[in-house]
């Protein structure tokens, strides 16, 4: 760890996790997370108002926990990074306001960064700096995208995305119809380990010869699972939860890995990273490894705890912004619930920068 690498604190509040991470360059020093996931469980999905209130209550203690864990003082920091979007507007606002307050009080630069780019950049904490270019398969509760990453601080190109449900959303919806609770991904992953992935031939969305090569669709799959399960229930038969989980999961990860490897080959990119909550899926990790090995592609997937939402990923991207001398954000930075993935961060305008330097 080079002592002159930037020391950055990152705040993440785009959904139901209050994450605060501290990073020096590409080294993880602290990763504190407070989750309101249990409060949303009985509603079967994240309730924005509950998430915002939970962020507000958790913010200061979680920042303190991260500072203690890293063994540093807030005054040692070189910058404060925060998720500016995309995500739930009210939830983002809590993080952005807190980051501004810390940055202003400490006299440190503020970096409003993109949540999706952070999910990619977090891999630097595990495997060192990202090769350029790197293909990124980003799969979370809100997104499924194939992103050609030329420079994680400035140039990310979207090759394809889901046209309906996100991969994680499909896991959550299928878990709900099987009465497995929320969030669905981890439970389905567990049940699938004891099931037969070939038991039921569920459809692979958008894999026809004329379909867009890099877009995804999971809504038809979800409907197919729902019809299959309902037919069993109507016939008074037991639903084989393990086989349904395994067959559904196989349909999702088959399409994700097939398209990701194809994008790498088409674009001549020999590094693939997989990020976002669904990258914690054990079968996705195994199948991606198998297919990458066969295609001569180097696979990079962060450990599961870094795949789901956390503050360390925001700190990782913030540190990279400082390292590469990117312009900080202005103090009138606003949360943008639909920030496009191509906006890796929200720099201050030229005029604002001029004002800041006066």
DSSP 164-195: SS-HHHHHHHHHHHTT--SSHHHHHHHHHTTS
Sign of the torsion formed by the C-alpha atoms of 5, 307, 89 and 350? positive
**Given the complex with ligand KG4, which of 120 and 292 has the nearer CB atom?**
120
Q: How far apart are CA 132 and CA 283, in angstroms?
A: 27
In the set 25, 142, 197, 328, which binds ligand KG4 (CB under 6 A)? 142
**86 cis-preceded (ω within 30 degrees of 0):** yes
- Residue 308 interacting with ligand KG4 (CB under 6 A): yes
Taking a C-beta distance cutoff of 8 angstroms, is the pair 215, 160 a contact? yes
Find the shortest distance in angstroms from Cβ 207 to Zn ion.
25
Contact with ligand KG4 (CB under 6 A): which of 12, 172, 250, 336? 172
As a residue count, the chain comes to: 358
Q: Considering the rule CB under 6 A, would residue 347 count as an interface residue with ligand KG4?
A: no
Which tokens go with 243? 């086989």
**Residue tagged 């595990």 (tokens):** 126
**Shortest approach of ligand KG4 to residue 18 CB, angstroms?**
13
114 binds Zn ion (CB under 5 A): no
- Considering only 20-28, 125-133, 139-147, 219-227, which stretch makes contact with Zn ion by CB under 5 A? 139-147
Q: How far is the CB of 278 from Zn ion (least distance, A)?
A: 10
Min dist. Cβ of residue 121 to ligand KG4 (A): 14
Residue 257 binds which entry of Zn ion, ligand KG4, none, with Cβ cut-offs from 5 to 8 Å by kind?
Answer: none
Nearest to 137 by CA among 236, 271, 327: 271
189 binds ligand KG4 (CB under 6 A): yes
Binding of ligand KG4 by 114 (CB under 6 A) = no
**CB 67, min distance to ligand KG4, A:** 23
Nearer to Zn ion, 123 or 309 (CB): 309
Check residue 17 for interaction with Zn ion (CB under 5 A). Answer: no
Q: Which is nearer to ligand KG4, 111 or 171 (CB)?
A: 171
- The Cα 57–Cα 200 span in angstroms is 45
**Which entry of ligand KG4, Zn ion, none binds 168, CB below 5 to 8 A by partner kind?**
ligand KG4
Choices 76-84, 136-144, 220-228, 259-267 (CB under 6 A): range interacting with ligand KG4: 136-144
Beta-bridge partners for 85: 114
The phi, psi pair for 81, rounded to 5°, reads -110, 150
Pick one of ligand KG4, Zn ion, none as the site partner of residue 45 (Cβ within 5 to 8 A by kind): none
Spell out the residues 6+ positions from residue 340 whose beta carbon is closer than 8 angstroms to its own. 86
Contact 295, 58 (CB under 8 A): no
2 secondary structure, DSSP code: -
Strands (E), 140-254: 144-151, 155-161
- Contacting ligand KG4 (CB under 6 A), which of 25, 95, 185, 311? 185
Site residues for ligand KG4 per CB under 6 A: 15, 140-142, 168, 171-172, 183-186, 189, 276-278, 280-281, 308-309
The binding site for Zn ion (CB under 5 A) comprises 140, 309
């Amino acid at each position: 760890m080079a002592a002159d690498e930037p020391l950055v604190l990152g705040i993440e509040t785009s959904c139901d996790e209050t994450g605060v991470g501290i990073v020096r360059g590409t080294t993880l020093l602290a990763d504190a997370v407070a989750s309101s996931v249990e409060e949303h469980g009985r509603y079967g999905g994240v309730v924005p108002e509950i998430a915002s209130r939970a962020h507000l209550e958790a913010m200061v203690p979680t920042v303190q926990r991260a500072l203690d864990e890293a063994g540093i003082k807030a005054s040692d920091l070189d910058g404060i990074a925060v998720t500016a979007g995309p995500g739930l507007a009210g939830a983002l606002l809590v993080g952005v306001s807190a980051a501004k307050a810390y940055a202003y009080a400490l006299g440190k630069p503020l970096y409003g960064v993109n949540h999706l780019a952070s999910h990619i950049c977090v891999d630097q904490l595990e495997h060192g700096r990202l090769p350029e270019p790197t293909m990124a398969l980003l799969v979370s509760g809100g997104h499924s995208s194939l992103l050609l990453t030329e420079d994680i601080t400035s140039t990310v190109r979207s090759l394809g995305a889901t046209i309906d449900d996100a991969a994680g959303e499909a896991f959550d919806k299928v878990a709900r119809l099987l009465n497995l609770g929320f969030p669905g991904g981890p439970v389905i992953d567990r049940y699938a380990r004891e099931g037969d992935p070939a038991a039921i031939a569920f459809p692979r969305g958008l894999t026809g010869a004329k379909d867009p090569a890099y877009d995804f669709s999971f809504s038809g799959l979800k409907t197919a699972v729902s019809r299959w399960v309902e037919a069993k229930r109507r016939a008074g038969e037991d639903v084989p939860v393990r086989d349904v989980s395994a067959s559904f999961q196989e349909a999702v990860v088959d399409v994700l890995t097939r398209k990701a490897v194809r994008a790498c080959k088409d674009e001549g990119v020999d590094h693939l990273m997989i990020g976002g909550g669904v990258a914690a899926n054990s079968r996705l990790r195994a199948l991606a490894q198998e297919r990458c090995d066969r295609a001569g592609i180097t696979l990079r997937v962060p450990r599961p705890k870094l795949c789901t939402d956390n503050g360390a990923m925001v700190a990782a991207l913030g540190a990279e912004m400082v390292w590469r001398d990117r312009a900080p954000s202005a103090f009138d930075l606003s949360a943008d619930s639909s920030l496009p993935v191509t906006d890796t961060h929200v720099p201050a305008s030229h005029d604002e920068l001029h004002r800041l330097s006066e």
